[in-house]
């Protein structure tokens, strides 16, 4: 239960707090980039709290983006597939993740997000080029 609640604290509470703490200091042309997940699009059995917390990130980011349009502050949610990080290693080890078709490096995700940010997209989520197959 502590792990589940920590996921909510990080992905929902901390993200919301950081956005609202920074907003008074942001000016026209500023950007907010929040890290959602492919898990944010639908319920995900066995990582349900993680998926739900990332769905919060997606919904919050899209709504905040609409609210901040008049201030000309752009908000984008990034929703990549599997990223080769410590989370991925842990989830594979404890059998949380039972299937994945490929994973991406953090650099690939960042490069794609920066391209989408320049285009003022509200969500950076399309499949990245490349990616290592397992």
Query: Which residues have a catalytic role annotated?
Result: 50
Please report the beta strands in the chain, taking only residues with DSSP state E, as ranges in sequence order: 31-35, 74-78, 102-103, 123-124, 132-133
Going from the C-alpha of 38 to that of each of 17, 43, 100, the distances in angstroms are 23, 11, 12
């Amino acid at each position: 239960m502590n792990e589940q609640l920590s996921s909510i604290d990080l992905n929902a509470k901390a993200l919301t707090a950081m956005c609202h703490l920074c907003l008074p200091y942001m000016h026209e042309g500023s950007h907010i980039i929040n890290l959602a997940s492919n898990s944010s699009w639908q319920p995900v059995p066995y990582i349900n709290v993680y998926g739900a917390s990332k769905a919060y990130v997606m919904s919050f980011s899209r709504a905040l983006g609409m609210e901040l349009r008049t201030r000309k502050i752009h908000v984008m949610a990034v929703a990549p597939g599997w990223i080769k990080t410590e989370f991925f290693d842990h989830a594979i080890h404890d059998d949380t993740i039972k299937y994945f078709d490929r994973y991406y490096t953090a650099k690939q995700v960042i490069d794609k997000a920066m391209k989408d940010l320049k285009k003022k997209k509200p969500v950076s989520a399309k499949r990245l080029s490349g990616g290592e197959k397992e």
